[in-house]
Amino acid sequence: MPRGRPRSDFVHAFSKALGLPRTAALIIGALARARKALAVDELVRRVRSSERSVRENLQILLRRGILIRKVFVTANKKLAYAYSLGSIETLVAAARRDVTRTLARIEAVARRFRETAT
Stretch 92-117: mean pLDDT, rounded? Answer: 90
Domains contained in the chain, CATH given: 6-117 (1.10.10.10)
Cα–Cα distance for residue pair 64/61, rounded to 1 Å: 5
Stretch 86-106: mean pLDDT, rounded? Answer: 90
| Residue 73: count of CB within 10 angstroms of its CB | 9
pLDDT at 11 over 90: no
Instruction: Give pLDDT, residue 13.
Output: 87
Instruction: Give pLDDT, residue 118.
Output: 67
Cα–Cα distance for residue pair 12/29, rounded to 1 Å: 8
Decide if 40 contacts 71 (C-beta within 8 A): no
pLDDT at 29 over 90: yes
SS3 72: strand
In terms of DSSP H, where are the helices of 2-70?
Answer: 6-17, 22-34, 40-47, 51-63
